[in-house]
Amino acid sequence: MTNLEIAWTLTEMADLLELKGEAPYKVRAYRRAAGNIKNLEEEVSNFYTHGTLEKIPGIGKNLAAKISELLRTGRSTFLEDLRKEVPPGLRKMLVIPGLGTRSVYQIYMHLGVQTLAELEKAAKNKQIRKLPGMGTKTELAILRGIRMLKEEQDKIPLGVALPLALMLKDQLLAIQGVKQVEIAGSVRRGCEMVGDIDLVAKVTPDNQVAAVMSGHPQVKEVLANEPERLALLSNLGFKVEIIMVGSEEFASTLLYATGSAAHRQKLLQLAAEQGKTARDIGFSTPRWLAEESKVLTGNHEDIKQKDKNKTKVIKNPGLNEEEVFYERLGLPYIVPELREDRGEIEAAQKGELPQLVSLDHIVGDLHMHTNYSDGAEDIKRMAMAARERGYRYIAITDHSRSLVVARGLSIEQIKAQRAEIEQLNQELEDITILAGIEVDILKDGSLDYEDEILKEFDLVIASVHSGFSLEQDRMMARVEKALRHPYVDILGHPTGRILGRRRPYAVDVKRIIELAAETGTILEINASPDRLDLNDNYVRLAKDYGVPIAINTDAHDLKRMGEMEYGVITARRGWLEPKDVVNTWDLDKLLARLKRNR
Same domain, 323 and 440: no
Same domain, 163 and 206: yes
Mean pLDDT of 170-195: 94
Q: Is the pLDDT of residue 317 over 60?
A: no
Q: Is the pLDDT of residue 285 over 90?
A: no
For residue 277, which of 303, 254, 256 has the smallest C-alpha distance? Answer: 303
The CATH number of whichever domain residue 241 belongs to comes to: 3.30.460.10
CA dist 372 and 375 (Å) reads 7
Q: For position 152, what pLDDT does the model report?
A: 62
Mean pLDDT of 355-378: 95
Q: Is the pLDDT of residue 235 over 80?
A: no
The alpha carbon of residue 250 and the mean position of all alpha carbons in its chain are separated, in whole angstroms, by 28
Highest mean pLDDT among 261-270, 299-308, 335-344: 335-344
404 phi-psi bin (left φ>0, alpha ψ -120 to 50, beta other): alpha
Among 199, 227, 245, the domain-final residue is 245
For residue 497, which of 173, 8, 96, 23 has the smallest C-alpha distance? Answer: 96
Among 287, 314, 349, the domain-final residue is 349
Q: Is the pLDDT of residue 432 over 90?
A: yes
Q: Is the pLDDT of residue 272 over 50?
A: yes
pLDDT-above-70 percentage for the chain: 92
Q: For position 100, what pLDDT does the model report?
A: 76
Q: How many CB atoms lie within 10 A of CB 495?
A: 21
CA dist 126 and 99 (Å) reads 16
Q: For position 559, what pLDDT does the model report?
A: 86
Residue-averaged pLDDT of the chain: 88
Same domain, 90 and 161: no
CA dist 27 and 15 (Å) reads 8
Are the C-beta atoms of residues 117 and 93 closer than 8 Å to each other?
Answer: no
CA dist 214 and 199 (Å) reads 15
The CATH number of whichever domain residue 566 belongs to comes to: 3.20.20.140
Angle at Cα 476 formed by Cα 472 and Cα 477, nearest 5°? 120
Mean pLDDT of 247-272: 92
Same domain, 306 and 377: no
Q: For position 208, what pLDDT does the model report?
A: 92
Instruction: Note whether residue 21 is domain-resident.
Output: yes
Same domain, 174 and 260: no
Same domain, 132 and 193: no
pLDDT band for position 305 (cuts 50, 70, 90)? very low
Instruction: Note whether residue 354 is domain-resident.
Output: no
Q: Is the pLDDT of residue 300 over 50?
A: no
pLDDT-above-90 percentage for the chain: 61
pLDDT band for position 297 (cuts 50, 70, 90)? very low
Mean pLDDT of 226-239: 86
Instruction: Note whether residue 281 is domain-resident.
Output: yes
Q: For position 309, what pLDDT does the model report?
A: 33
Q: Range of 309's domain? A: 250-349
Mean pLDDT of 420-432: 97
Regarding beta strands 229-234 and 219-226, do their DSSP bridges make them parallel or antiparallel, or are they unpaired?
antiparallel
Q: What is the pLDDT of residues 48-61, one digit of tens each?
A: 999 999 999 999 99
Mean pLDDT of 483-487: 97
Q: For position 301, what pLDDT does the model report?
A: 37
Same domain, 413 and 532: yes
Same domain, 104 and 19: yes
Q: For position 412, what pLDDT does the model report?
A: 95
Instruction: Note whether residue 307 is domain-resident.
Output: yes
Same domain, 189 and 218: yes
Q: Is the pLDDT of residue 275 over 50?
A: yes
Q: Give the count of domains, the chain.
A: 4
The CATH number of whichever domain residue 40 belongs to comes to: 1.10.150.110
CA dist 200 and 220 (Å) reads 21
Q: Is the pLDDT of residue 488 over 50?
A: yes
487 phi-psi bin (left φ>0, alpha ψ -120 to 50, beta other): alpha
Q: Is the pLDDT of residue 303 over 80?
A: no
Amino acid letter, residue 187: V
Instruction: Note whether residue 577 is domain-resident.
Output: yes
Q: For position 19, what pLDDT does the model report?
A: 86
Torsion of CA 108, 111, 114, 117, to 10 degrees: -140
pLDDT band for position 22 (cuts 50, 70, 90)? confident
Same domain, 142 and 33: yes
Among 326, 349, 372, the domain-final residue is 349
Q: What is the pLDDT of residues 115-158, one digit of tens each?
A: 888 998 999 999 998 888 787 777 877 887 777 666 666 788 89
Same domain, 556 and 417: yes
Same domain, 318 and 375: no
